[in-house]
Protein backbone atom coordinates (compact mmCIF):
# COMPACT_ATOMS: atom_id res chain seq x y z
CA UNK A 1 0.00 0.00 0.00
CA UNK A 2 1.36 3.40 -1.02
CA UNK A 3 0.54 6.06 1.56
CA UNK A 4 0.24 9.80 1.11
CA UNK A 5 -1.14 12.47 3.39
CA UNK A 6 -1.33 15.97 4.76
CA UNK A 7 0.38 17.41 7.83
CA UNK A 8 -0.72 20.56 9.63
CA UNK A 9 -2.71 21.72 12.64
CA UNK A 10 -5.65 21.81 12.82
CA UNK A 11 -6.93 19.87 9.80
CA UNK A 12 -10.69 19.95 10.28
CA UNK A 13 -10.97 22.42 7.39
CA UNK A 14 -9.18 20.26 4.83
CA UNK A 15 -10.79 18.74 1.72
CA UNK A 16 -7.55 17.04 0.65
CA UNK A 17 -8.42 13.55 1.93
CA UNK A 18 -11.80 13.67 0.19
CA UNK A 19 -10.20 14.98 -3.00
CA UNK A 20 -7.67 12.16 -3.18
CA UNK A 21 -10.23 9.50 -2.18
CA UNK A 22 -12.42 10.67 -5.06
CA UNK A 23 -9.40 10.73 -7.38
CA UNK A 24 -8.41 7.17 -6.47
CA UNK A 25 -11.99 5.94 -7.01
CA UNK A 26 -12.43 7.87 -10.27
CA UNK A 27 -9.14 6.69 -11.76
CA UNK A 28 -9.28 3.12 -10.46
CA UNK A 29 -6.19 3.51 -8.24
CA UNK A 30 -6.49 0.64 -5.76
CA UNK A 31 -3.15 0.49 -3.96
CA UNK A 32 -3.03 4.03 -2.49
CA UNK A 33 -4.50 5.89 0.45
CA UNK A 34 -4.32 9.49 1.64
CA UNK A 35 -4.64 10.37 5.34
CA UNK A 36 -4.66 13.46 7.50
CA UNK A 37 -1.87 13.70 10.07
CA UNK A 38 -2.48 16.38 12.68
CA UNK A 39 0.81 17.34 14.29
CA UNK A 40 0.63 19.68 17.25
CA UNK A 41 4.23 20.74 16.56
CA UNK A 42 6.62 20.23 13.66
CA UNK A 43 8.84 18.28 16.07
CA UNK A 44 6.39 15.37 15.76
CA UNK A 45 7.35 14.81 12.10
CA UNK A 46 10.24 12.34 12.69
CA UNK A 47 7.97 10.12 14.83
CA UNK A 48 5.30 10.18 12.12
CA UNK A 49 7.82 9.13 9.46
CA UNK A 50 9.07 6.33 11.71
CA UNK A 51 5.51 5.10 12.25
CA UNK A 52 4.58 5.35 8.56
CA UNK A 53 7.47 3.83 6.57
CA UNK A 54 5.18 3.39 3.52
CA UNK A 55 4.67 7.15 3.21
CA UNK A 56 5.63 8.15 -0.35
CA UNK A 57 4.83 11.83 -0.03
CA UNK A 58 2.77 14.36 1.85
CA UNK A 59 1.34 17.84 1.60
CA UNK A 60 2.08 20.54 4.17
CA UNK A 61 -0.36 23.19 5.34
CA UNK A 62 -0.66 25.83 8.08
CA UNK A 63 1.35 26.35 10.23
CA UNK A 64 4.27 24.24 8.97
CA UNK A 65 5.08 25.46 5.45
CA UNK A 66 8.20 27.20 6.71
CA UNK A 67 8.81 25.25 9.94
CA UNK A 68 9.27 21.99 8.04
CA UNK A 69 12.30 23.13 6.04
CA UNK A 70 14.97 22.14 8.64
CA UNK A 71 13.69 18.55 8.52
CA UNK A 72 14.21 18.21 4.76
CA UNK A 73 17.27 16.92 2.93
CA UNK A 74 16.79 19.03 -0.18
CA UNK A 75 14.58 21.69 -1.76
CA UNK A 76 13.64 22.26 -5.38
CA UNK A 77 15.24 25.40 -6.85
CA UNK A 78 11.86 27.15 -6.99
CA UNK A 79 11.17 26.29 -3.36
CA UNK A 80 14.51 27.72 -2.27
CA UNK A 81 13.44 31.03 -3.77
CA UNK A 82 9.98 30.96 -2.21
CA UNK A 83 11.05 29.89 1.26
CA UNK A 84 7.97 27.76 1.91
CA UNK A 85 7.08 24.10 1.29
CA UNK A 86 3.66 22.54 0.71
CA UNK A 87 4.71 19.23 -0.84
CA UNK A 88 7.30 16.66 0.23
CA UNK A 89 8.49 13.65 -1.76
CA UNK A 90 9.76 10.71 0.31
CA UNK A 91 12.40 8.44 -1.19
CA UNK A 92 13.20 6.10 1.66
CA UNK A 93 14.37 8.42 4.41
CA UNK A 94 15.31 11.19 1.98
CA UNK A 95 12.84 14.10 1.99
CA UNK A 96 12.70 16.72 -0.77
CA UNK A 97 10.53 19.83 -0.49
CA UNK A 98 8.53 21.42 -3.30
CA UNK A 99 5.95 24.17 -3.62
CA UNK A 100 3.00 23.24 -5.80
CA UNK A 101 0.93 26.13 -4.43
CA UNK A 102 2.56 28.29 -7.09
CA UNK A 103 1.35 25.96 -9.86
CA UNK A 104 -2.24 25.92 -8.63
CA UNK A 105 -2.30 29.60 -7.74
CA UNK A 106 -0.96 30.88 -11.03
CA UNK A 107 -3.40 28.81 -13.10
CA UNK A 108 -6.35 29.87 -10.94
CA UNK A 109 -5.32 33.52 -10.87
CA UNK A 110 -4.80 33.67 -14.64
CA UNK A 111 -8.30 32.26 -15.19
CA UNK A 112 -9.83 34.59 -12.59
CA UNK A 113 -8.28 37.75 -14.02
CA UNK A 114 -8.82 36.81 -17.65
CA UNK A 115 -7.23 39.54 -19.71
CA UNK A 116 -7.11 41.98 -16.81
CA UNK A 117 -3.83 42.99 -15.22
CA UNK A 118 -4.47 45.10 -12.10
CA UNK A 119 -1.82 47.77 -11.68
CA UNK A 120 -1.01 46.66 -8.14
CA UNK A 121 -1.98 43.89 -5.70
CA UNK A 122 -2.48 43.92 -1.95
CA UNK A 123 -1.51 40.67 -0.20
CA UNK A 124 -3.05 40.06 3.23
CA UNK A 125 -0.68 37.99 5.36
CA UNK A 126 3.04 37.26 5.31
CA UNK A 127 3.26 33.55 6.21
CA UNK A 128 4.09 30.53 4.08
CA UNK A 129 1.07 30.84 1.80
CA UNK A 130 1.89 34.49 1.23
CA UNK A 131 5.40 33.53 0.11
CA UNK A 132 3.91 31.55 -2.78
CA UNK A 133 1.55 34.41 -3.65
CA UNK A 134 4.43 36.87 -3.77
CA UNK A 135 6.40 34.54 -6.05
CA UNK A 136 3.49 34.17 -8.49
CA UNK A 137 2.74 37.89 -8.58
CA UNK A 138 6.40 38.56 -9.35
CA UNK A 139 6.23 35.99 -12.17
CA UNK A 140 3.13 37.74 -13.53
CA UNK A 141 4.84 41.12 -13.21
CA UNK A 142 2.12 42.49 -10.93
CA UNK A 143 3.63 44.80 -8.26
CA UNK A 144 2.34 44.16 -4.76
CA UNK A 145 2.32 45.38 -1.18
CA UNK A 146 2.00 43.28 1.97
CA UNK A 147 -0.34 43.76 4.93
CA UNK A 148 0.75 42.25 8.23
CA UNK A 149 -0.13 42.44 11.90
CA UNK A 150 3.59 42.97 12.44
CA UNK A 151 4.82 46.34 11.10
CA UNK A 152 8.27 44.84 10.56
CA UNK A 153 7.10 42.28 7.98
CA UNK A 154 4.66 44.24 5.81
CA UNK A 155 4.28 47.47 3.90
CA UNK A 156 1.15 48.22 5.93
CA UNK A 157 -0.43 47.08 9.15
CA UNK A 158 -4.17 46.45 9.03
CA UNK A 159 -4.76 49.77 10.81
CA UNK A 160 -2.90 51.53 7.99
CA UNK A 161 -5.03 50.16 5.14
CA UNK A 162 -6.95 53.28 4.14
CA UNK A 163 -9.39 54.12 1.37
CA UNK A 164 -6.42 55.30 -0.71
CA UNK A 165 -4.67 51.96 -0.25
CA UNK A 166 -7.77 50.02 -1.28
CA UNK A 167 -8.30 52.32 -4.25
CA UNK A 168 -4.77 51.83 -5.57
CA UNK A 169 -4.82 48.01 -5.26
CA UNK A 170 -7.50 46.50 -7.48
CA UNK A 171 -6.35 42.95 -6.76
CA UNK A 172 -6.62 41.95 -3.08
CA UNK A 173 -5.49 38.45 -2.08
CA UNK A 174 -6.19 36.93 1.31
CA UNK A 175 -3.19 34.72 2.08
CA UNK A 176 -3.98 34.58 5.79
CA UNK A 177 -6.07 31.91 7.58
CA UNK A 178 -8.60 34.51 8.76
CA UNK A 179 -12.09 33.32 7.89
CA UNK A 180 -11.16 29.65 7.49
CA UNK A 181 -13.42 26.96 8.98
CA UNK A 182 -14.34 26.82 11.82
CA UNK A 183 -13.83 30.58 12.29
CA UNK A 184 -16.21 31.45 9.48
CA UNK A 185 -17.51 34.62 11.16
CA UNK A 186 -14.14 36.38 10.80
CA UNK A 187 -12.69 38.44 7.96
CA UNK A 188 -9.44 40.35 7.41
CA UNK A 189 -9.81 43.81 8.94
CA UNK A 190 -9.72 46.09 5.88
CA UNK A 191 -12.15 48.90 4.86
CA UNK A 192 -14.47 46.99 2.51
CA UNK A 193 -16.60 50.10 1.99
CA UNK A 194 -14.00 51.29 -0.54
CA UNK A 195 -14.03 48.10 -2.62
CA UNK A 196 -15.58 48.71 -6.06
CA UNK A 197 -16.81 46.65 -9.05
CA UNK A 198 -13.37 47.07 -10.60
CA UNK A 199 -11.72 45.16 -7.74
CA UNK A 200 -10.72 41.49 -7.77
CA UNK A 201 -10.80 39.68 -4.41
CA UNK A 202 -9.07 36.28 -4.32
CA UNK A 203 -9.12 34.11 -1.19
CA UNK A 204 -6.76 31.14 -0.82
CA UNK A 205 -9.31 29.64 1.60
CA UNK A 206 -11.71 27.08 0.08
CA UNK A 207 -13.62 26.08 3.24
CA UNK A 208 -16.05 27.78 3.48
CA UNK A 209 -16.61 28.22 -0.23
CA UNK A 210 -17.51 31.88 0.31
CA UNK A 211 -15.68 33.52 3.20
CA UNK A 212 -16.82 36.79 4.72
CA UNK A 213 -13.92 38.39 2.84
CA UNK A 214 -15.48 37.28 -0.44
CA UNK A 215 -19.03 38.07 0.71
CA UNK A 216 -18.05 41.65 1.57
CA UNK A 217 -16.37 41.99 -1.81
CA UNK A 218 -19.39 40.60 -3.67
CA UNK A 219 -21.69 43.01 -1.81
CA UNK A 220 -19.62 45.85 -3.29
CA UNK A 221 -19.84 44.36 -6.79
CA UNK A 222 -16.26 43.09 -6.89
CA UNK A 223 -15.11 40.00 -8.78
CA UNK A 224 -14.46 37.17 -6.30
CA UNK A 225 -12.75 33.77 -6.35
CA UNK A 226 -12.01 31.18 -3.66
CA UNK A 227 -9.10 28.74 -3.38
CA UNK A 228 -10.78 25.55 -4.63
CA UNK A 229 -9.30 25.62 -8.14
CA UNK A 230 -5.91 26.37 -6.59
CA UNK A 231 -6.34 23.31 -4.32
CA UNK A 232 -7.05 21.07 -7.31
CA UNK A 233 -4.10 22.45 -9.26
CA UNK A 234 -1.61 22.05 -6.42
CA UNK A 235 -2.93 18.57 -5.56
CA UNK A 236 -2.46 17.30 -9.11
CA UNK A 237 1.02 18.85 -9.27
CA UNK A 238 1.90 17.11 -5.99
CA UNK A 239 0.61 13.78 -7.30
CA UNK A 240 2.86 14.13 -10.35
CA UNK A 241 5.90 14.82 -8.12
CA UNK A 242 5.19 11.81 -5.88
CA UNK A 243 4.81 9.46 -8.85
CA UNK A 244 7.68 10.42 -11.13
Task: Say if CB 89 and CB 96 are below 8 A apart.
Answer: yes
Residues pairing with 60 in the sheet: 7
**What letter would DSSP give residue 65?**
T
The DSSP call for residue 92 is T
Residue among 2, 23, 40, 65 flagged as catalytic: 65
Reply yes or no on whether 65 is catalytic.
yes
DSSP 8-state code for residue 99 = -
Q: 203-220 in b/e burial notation, b at 16+ Cβ within 10 A?
A: bbbbbbeebbbbebbeee
Question: Distance (Å, rounded) from C-alpha 134 to C-alpha 176?
Answer: 13
**Any alpha helices (H) in 127-222, and if so which ranges?**
128-139, 163-167, 212-219
- CB-based burial of residue 34 (10 Å sphere; 0-12 exposed, 13-18 middle, 19+ buried)? buried
The DSSP bridge partners found for residue 96 are: 74, 89
Residues in the chain: 244
Strand segments (E) across 104-226: 121-124, 144-147, 171-174, 200-203, 223-225
Which residues are marked as active site? 65
Amino acid sequence: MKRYGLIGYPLGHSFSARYFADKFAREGIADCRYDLYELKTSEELPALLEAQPELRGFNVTIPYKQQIIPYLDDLSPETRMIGAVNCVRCEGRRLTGYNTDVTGLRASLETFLGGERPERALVLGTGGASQAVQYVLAQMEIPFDLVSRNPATGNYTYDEVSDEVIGSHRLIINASPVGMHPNVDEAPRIPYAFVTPSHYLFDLIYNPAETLFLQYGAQRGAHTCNGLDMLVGQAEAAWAIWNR
